[in-house]
A and B are shown apart, each in its own frame.
Chain A
Amino acid sequence: MNGTTDRRGARGGRRAVITGIGVVAPGAVGTKEYWSLLSAGRTATRGITLFDPAGFRSRVAAEVDFHPEDHGLGPQDVRRMDRAVQFAVVAAAEAMADAGLAPGEADPHRTGVTIGSGVGATMALDREYRVVSDGGRLDAVDHAYAVPHLYDYFVPSSFAAEVAWSVGAEGPTTVVSTGCTSGLDSVGYATGLIREGAADVMVAGAAAAPISPITVACFDAIRATTARNDDPEHASRPFDRTRDGFVLGEGAAIFVIEEYERARRRGAFLRAEIAGFATRSNAYHMTGLRADGREMAEAITRALAEARIAPEAVDYVNAHGSGTRQNDRHETAAFKRSLGAHAYRTPVSSVKSMIGHSLGAIGSLEIAASVLALAHDVVPPTANLHEADPECDLDYVPLEAREHRTDTVLTVGSGFGGFQSAMVLRSAA
């Protein structure tokens, strides 16, 4: 969402900076591990192990090897929290530690939480439905078998509540749920709250754990996911001629976002400024995209304007790059339309090639990748890109990470429902 854009530009009023990062990603629990994976161009996609995928069309996913007990979550926590919430709480703890903030250390009244979630507690709902319907045998489900925490799965604002409790936040708290742009939009929403003065610190990001039969079945039905089951490590192929759909992923990335002056005063390490953010909608189709990429281009243009930078100042484009036939062309068109000739000169890459597409979480995982690219002056690659689609003719950084001076990153997202989002991040140190 585009927040209070015109009123408070990056130079005018309050500014929002990222001071802490926490990541739970496929193949990488922890921010450091995440960057190792991305910068090495390693893929974390594999055959589904979270359930038996026999009989499904797509049987590949990017799964997190996650042991909640290793992160201090007890049996009660695990029972109460959907897997996505567990990811969120663990990532939030890492982000707080990275920011040098103990829970409750910042004024609770001035600290809020925004968590992005596209599909809520899908995994818990799928599991519990199976229980209360006696494996699908009952049309009217049996309340006697309902777990006490079913309501927390029913309404995913529980994601934000759990994170707020874990970090000691009592300011504005909500879940933002705009499908696959949730992870960008939640950080954009939090940025808006900081800029308008509703909070000084926001713990914001997104989490998803959708690898469950109902999700796999619904993407099977529209053939959106890959059928490359015989080669799961190379199944996510954004921009490649042979791409055949996305690879479902899971994970979380959570940030501590602070008002700039406050962060500077307390001597926090400023990882990046959220300099511009905008969203547009395609008003076209719940799952389809217009080929011209106009709405995403509008979002990009608006985000650049809010950051008060020219397209030429973009050092790296962190793409949505889902690996579906239509997305990668749509997005390529949007980059050309918004960045002009600079679209051909700036590196563009998709981390979904390595960590899959974690729906509502991916936007935040991509913000994390973007901030790490700023820190390291290294652009993560697009793995598995051996032969680009002729209609995808930009520099997608195939196979290997690239050293590249990076001060400004554009990261974008596109989702079911027509949502198109763009965020500009820049070095703040």
Chain B
Amino acid sequence: MTAAVVTGVAVAAPNGLGTDAYWRATRAGTGGIRPIRKFDTSRYPVTLAGEVPDFRPEDHLPSRLLPQTDHMTRLALVAADQALADAGVDPGARDPFSMGVVTASSSGGFEFGERELRNLWSKGGQYVSAYQSFAWFYAVNTGQISIRNGMRGPCGVVVSDQAGGLDALAQARRLIRGGTRLVVSGGVDGSICSWGLVAQMAGGRLSTATDPDRAYLPFDAAAAGHVPGEGGALLVLEDADSARDRGARTYGEIAGYAATFDPKPGTGREPGLRRAIELALDDAGGTAADVDLVFADAAAVPELDRIEADALTAVFGPRGVPVTAPKTMTGRLLSGAAPLDVVTALLALADGVVPPTVNVTPLPGYGLDLVVGAPRPARLETVLVLARGHGGFNSALVVRRAGA
């Protein structure tokens, strides 16, 4: 079967805009969670977020695109450009039908939507923008990336809350296996605006801490929710043969994947995360013993941390595999979080180093070998990335050093 390999990556993260800046910060354990700058949070119990620093869209994008795009779409368009450049691909020189785009979304261009809802209800229907019909919707990033890069092959969008980023990459792999030569995939997301923050607060999982170092503490005795963030990552996936033929550098292979859904609350049945891990390992043609590192979903809600720790110890044994959660440096980037973890996993593979989980004192009772405080050197061949979404979505994805 055709292997789907990653030949290009790009990152927009709260602790670094661009892959290099992000990876330098992440290896060093430097976080990007800060008081929200974009709007006045004084009336809200939640005041911290991971906002992408130093992003000036007009430096990267034509002015024709700016009025019609939400902030997260601008980040995504720039990330797509950078991922393609990183892969050494000129989309204009390829058969347009051989290239596709699959992204994950959670809440679309919510900030754009907030502005137009405000226009509608404060001034009237005729004040709603002509761009509203698509600028806020969930498919916008895929559509805009395909247009900007002339990609006329199969395109898609999945929404499974914060698990969706892995589902998108799996769909991209499906397309590669079906004959599409190149797919831009992943997720860049974020709804850091008044309406978006209030909607996320309603989910009941946001931290109300005001100290950035004490706000997002998965697997810690003080875990009390997470910090919202914006950003994510886009990847260029190609079939292994065409990547090899053109002499492309390969970060790794998308080797395995599975998704499950939790039983309806109250049934007493086991949550689906363990099954997702086992099915993904099986899909990768491997076993738990092959996994060198796990990127945890790291909800920082005690009940959810317990479920994840139980799933990991059931599959790998107590303290059976190193586990990390670099998202403690960025906050949770909605559907962008998991693709960022996948890119981080690929960078970790390349450099032989496990980026740390910051600020966390692990509760021994979870039985996890959580990599905290400082990066840990390691020989890495196979890495498992986990992601979960509100309502019971579980996704697991295995990346492997190419050719391993």
Contact = CB atoms under 8 A, between A and B. Distances in A.
- Touch A–B, Cβ below 8 Å: yes
A221 interface: yes
B171 A154 contact: no
Given A143-B201, A170-B272, A179 B149 contact: no
A118 B138 CA distance: 7
Nearest to A145: B198
Contacts of A279: 154-156
A4 B118 contact: no
Interface residues of B, number: 94
A222 B130 contact: yes
B124 A157 contact: no
Contact of B120 (A143, A157, A176, A213): A213
Interface in A163-213: 164-165, 168-179, 185, 189, 192, 196, 198, 213
A283 B156 contact: no
A270 interface: no
A72 to B, nearest CB: 16
A155 B161 contact: yes
Given A172-B259, A416-B137, A129 B156 contact: no
Identify the interface centre among B105, B258, B261: most chain A CB within 10 Å of its CB. B261
Contacts of A146: 198-199, 201-202
Contact of A416 (B122, B130, B139, B334): B139
Contact of B154 (A2, A136, A155, A198): A2
Interface stretch (B229-237, B320-328, B352-360, B384-392): B384-392
Interface string B163-177: 010010001001101
B152 A295 contact: yes
A287 B143 CA distance: 10
A281 B155 contact: yes
Q: Which of A219, A279, A417 has the most CB of B within 10 A?
A: A417
Contacts, number: 300
A139 B39 CA distance: 10
Contacts of A152: 390-391
B130 A161 contact: no
A136 B125 CA distance: 12
B262 A170 contact: yes
A108 B263 contact: yes
Interface in A88-143: 108-109, 112-113, 117-120, 125-126, 129-130, 132-133, 135-137, 139-143
Given A120-B138, A157-B389, A281-B146, A113 B261 contact: yes
A139 B146 CA distance: 34
B209 to A, nearest CB: 17
A152 B140 CA distance: 20
A285 interface: yes
Nearest to A129: B117
Contacts of B174: 1, 3-4, 192, 196
B212 interface: no
B159 A157 contact: yes
Interface in B253-272: 258-264, 269, 272
B386 to A, nearest CB: 15
A267 interface: no
A170 B202 contact: no
Given A109-B260, A143-B201, A157-B159, A283 B152 contact: yes
A153 B199 contact: yes
Contacts of B157: 176-178
Interface stretch (B13-21, B81-89, B93-101, B240-248): B93-101
Contact of A118 (B137, B191, B272): B137
B316 interface: no
Contact of B128 (A2, A198, A220, A282): A220
A133 B137 CA distance: 21
Contacts of B153: 280-281
A173 B118 CA distance: 33
Contacts of B62: none
A291 interface: no
Contacts of A125: 113, 117
Given A157-B393, A220-B125, A140 B261 contact: no
B107 interface: yes
B351 interface: no
Nearest to A306: B178
A424 interface: no
Contacts of A168: 264
B313 interface: no
Given A146-B201, A221-B133, A417-B140, A141 B260 contact: no
A171 B264 contact: no
B190 to A, nearest CB: 13
A283 B264 contact: no
A6 B176 CA distance: 10
A426 B267 CA distance: 39
A27 B390 CA distance: 34
A135 B120 CA distance: 10
A196 B152 CA distance: 24
Contacts of A158: 390-391
A20 interface: no
Contacts of A213: 120, 125
B308 interface: no
B301 interface: no
A196 B159 CA distance: 20
A150 B177 CA distance: 38
Contacts of B129: 218, 221
Contacts of B201: 143, 146
A220 B126 contact: yes
Given A170-B272, A174-B159, A214-B120, A3 B178 contact: yes
What are the nearest 3 A-B pairs in CB distance?
A417-B143, A136-B121, A161-B391
Given A141-B194, A218-B128, A222-B133, 8 more contacts: A7-B177, A140-B43, A141-B114, A157-B393, A178-B157, A280-B152, A281-B153, A287-B133
19 contacts: A1-B102, A5-B178, A55-B125, A113-B261, A135-B121, A136-B122, A139-B194, A142-B198, A153-B199, A154-B106, A154-B191, A174-B259, A174-B393, A176-B159, A177-B139, A178-B155, A217-B128, A281-B146, A286-B134
Interface of B: 1, 39-40, 43-45, 68, 96-97, 100-102, 105-108, 110, 113-114, 116-118, 120-126, 128-130, 132-134, 137-140, 142-144, 146-147, 149-161, 164, 167, 171, 174-175, 177-180, 191, 194-204, 258-264, 269, 272, 275, 334, 389-393
